[in-house]
Amino acid sequence: MFKHITLLFAGILLATISFAQQITTPEPTEVWEPVPRVVTPGMNNLPPSDAIVLFDGKNTNEWKHEDGSDIKWKVEDGALTVTPGSGDISTRQTFGDLQLHLEWRTPAAVKGEGQGRGNSGVFLQSRYEVQVLDNYQNKTYPNGQAGSIYKQSIPLVNACRPPGEWQTYDIIYTAPRFNADGVKVASAHVTVIQNGILVQNNTEIKGTSEYIGLPKNIAHGDDSLKLQDHSNPVSYRNIWVRKL
């Protein structure tokens, strides 16, 4: 029996070697299908051709408050600025896996310290927060500073520009997966590039972003992007997303 098995493996090995020896030109290893679709890159800070533009400097139709009403945040000079006390805003469209680009700016006039200085946040699927905060020479708990996954993951570096200057987030997000019973079978992961610098590298998101308590993992599907009103007049512009 063992002799037969040995002969079988020897035969497979010889066949594999023989096939490999027959590949004497590059053509057999060229894959021609499928052909990737064409996406035209944006020029001069414009979004790529397949992006969904969520804020172009003027139109706020893609956004709503939690009660469904039109947003009360201020639009001026191409920027969308938190009106403190008006509430968070969410996209009318829902998303799962995505590539997100946005620019944000904390107030030039510095007020407060720690978490009270230029605080806002970008919530993926309305649950998982990438923190927005003025952390230019402003100390706070590291898992709550700009570039963190709030209360979960410290950014690799502090890549903040001074208050009053525009900053960028480029976010690649893979949503969590749940089975038919509502059990999470795969965690969300996120990569965040702040001002061209990697601050989160395919980081696991353990669950919802909670101010008090541990992350939760309740089954859900696609959901809105949310920008936080944390009582600071933080501004946003050039917001676009690509579904992945």
Q: What's the CATH code of the domain at 196?
A: 2.60.120.560
- Specify if 206 maps to a domain: yes
Between residues 196 and 6, which one has the greater pLDDT? 196
- Mean pLDDT across 157-161: 98
- Specify if 179 maps to a domain: yes
CB atoms within 10 A of CB 222: 13
Does this model's pTM top 0.75? My answer is yes
- Mean pLDDT across 100-107: 98
Instruction: Work out how many domains the chain is built from and give that number.
Output: 1
- Which among 192, 171, 178 has a CA at the least distance from the CA of 244? 171
List, in sequence order, the alpha helices (H) in the chain: 2-22
- Specify if 28 maps to a domain: no
pLDDT value of position 57: 96
The answer to whether 63 touches 54, Cβ cutoff 8 Å, is: yes
Residue 3 has pLDDT above 90, yes or no: no
- Specify if 3 maps to a domain: no
- Specify if 31 maps to a domain: no
The answer to whether 73 touches 89, Cβ cutoff 8 Å, is: yes
Q: What pLDDT band is residue 195 in, cutting at 50, 70 and 90?
A: very high
| Token reading at 52 | 């969904």
- Specify if 63 maps to a domain: yes
Domain that holds residue 179: 38-243
pLDDT value of position 22: 73
Instruction: List, for residues 56-89, the tens digit of each pLDDT value.
Output: 999 999 999 999 999 999 999 999 999 999 999 9
- Which among 136, 97, 91 has a CA at the least distance from the CA of 239? 91
Kindly report the backbone phi and psi dihedral angles of residue 174, in degrees, each rounded to the nearest multiple of 5, phi listed first: -110, 120
Between residues 79 and 8, which one has the greater pLDDT? 79
Q: Which of 2-6, 59-63, 179-183, 189-193 is the least confident region?
A: 2-6
pLDDT value of position 23: 81
Residue 224 has pLDDT above 70, yes or no: yes
- Specify if 27 maps to a domain: no
Task: List, in sequence order, every residue forming a beta bridge with 90; answer none if it has no partner.
Answer: 64, 226
- Specify if 6 maps to a domain: no
- Location of structure tokens 């938190």: 82
- Which among 83, 85, 62, 86 has a CA at the least distance from the CA of 74? 83
Tell me how far apart the alpha carbons of residues 172 and 243 are, in angstroms, rounded to a whole number: 10
Task: List, in sequence order, every residue forming a beta bridge with 131; answer none if it has no partner.
Answer: 121
